[in-house]
């Protein structure tokens, strides 16, 4: 358990990629603070499943990722409980599919706030604790859309491009502090976020559900397979190892070859 005694915050971790990362970190011995949406019973089930895996504790914080004060309070709570946080996984994200001309302003603001600004606020709160301990790992879930664009996803593409730029800047600012900052950019992963955008894409493009999956979602991935949350989690876990300390400011693709072309 190479992370025994270390602590992590994983945003957007009540399902999908975030929950897989939380489980991987717990299995390696870390204390884990979960965060995300869901019914109370489902959230507790997720927390308990993480707590059962390793030597550390698992807590849940319902911080609103659009609220900078709530994010700062979550980081302070983790620090009070365990010290650190030593590891910050910025994974919270939402999506809306619509052309620019009709894109709701409120949806734009929410996507930028949750997919991009929340990472800034969490990093801002966590980095001083990491510097004090001389060790830290920041991993942000970007997307293949951090490198390429798709129609009808202006806010998401803008946020993910911005997240990579933010991460590169933080990597340079913390390069001599024992801290690394990296992005992981998955292709399409079968998660609730992906499943929920299928109806909007059906409407926007006039396609059936099967056509959206085969001709839109998987069309760009040469493997013709969804990435799994566990594959993303395995890379996030590696980035937390001491062997990965020279990897910083990187945007690592896990996309079935999508961005190879």
- 3-class secondary structure per residue, the chain: CCCCCCEEEECCCCCHHHHHHHHHHHHCCCEEEEECCCCHHHHHHHHHHHHCCCCCCEEEECCCCCCHHHHHHHHHHHHHHHCCCCEEEECCCCCCCECHHHCCHHHHHHHHHHHHHHHHHHHHHHHHHHHHHCCEEEEEECCHHHCCCCCCEHHHHHHHHHHHHHHHHHHHHCCCCCEEEEEEEECCECCHHHHHHHHHHHHHHCCCHHHHHHHHHCCCCCCCCCECHHHHHHHHHHHCCHHHCCCCCCEEEECCCHHHC
Active site residue 188: no
- Selecting among 60, 82, 108, 156, the annotated active-site residue is 156
At a CB cut-off of 8 Å and minimum separation 6, what does 243 contact? none
68-82 and 118-133 helices, crossing angle to 10°: 30
Q: Which residues are catalytic?
A: 156
């Amino acid at each position: 358990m190479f992370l025994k005694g270390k602590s992590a915050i994983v945003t957007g971790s009540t399902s999908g990629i975030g929950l897989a990362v939380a489980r991987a970190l717990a299995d390696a011995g870390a204390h884990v603070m979960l965060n995300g949406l869901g019914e109370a019973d489902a959230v507790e089930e997720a927390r308990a499943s993480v707590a059962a895996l390793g030597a550390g504790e698992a807590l849940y914080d319902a911080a609103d990722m659009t609220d900078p004060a709530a994010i700062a309070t979550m980081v302070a709570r983790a620090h009070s409980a365990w010290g650190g946080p030593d590891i910050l996984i910025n994974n919270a994200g939402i999506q809306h599919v619509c052309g620019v001309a009709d894109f709701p302003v409120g949806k734009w603001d929410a996507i930028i706030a949750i997919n991009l600004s929340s990472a800034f606020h969490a990093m801002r709160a966590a980095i001083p604790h990491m510097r004090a301990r001389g060790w830290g790992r920041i991993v942000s879930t970007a997307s293949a859309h951090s490198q390429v664009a798709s129609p009808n996803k202006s806010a998401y593409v803008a946020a993910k491009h911005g997240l990579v730029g933010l991460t590169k800047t933080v990597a340079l600012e913390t390069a001599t502090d024992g801290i690394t900052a990296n992005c992981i950019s998955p292709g399409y992963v079968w998660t609730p976020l992906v499943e929920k955008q299928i109806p909007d894409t059906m409407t926007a493009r006039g396609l059936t559900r099967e056509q959206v999956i085969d001709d839109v979602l998987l069309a760009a991935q040469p493997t013709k397979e969804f990435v799994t949350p566990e594959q993303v989690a395995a890379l996030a876990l590696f980035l937390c190892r001491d062997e990965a300390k020279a990897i910083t400011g990187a945007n690592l693709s896990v996309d079935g070859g999508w961005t190879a072309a």
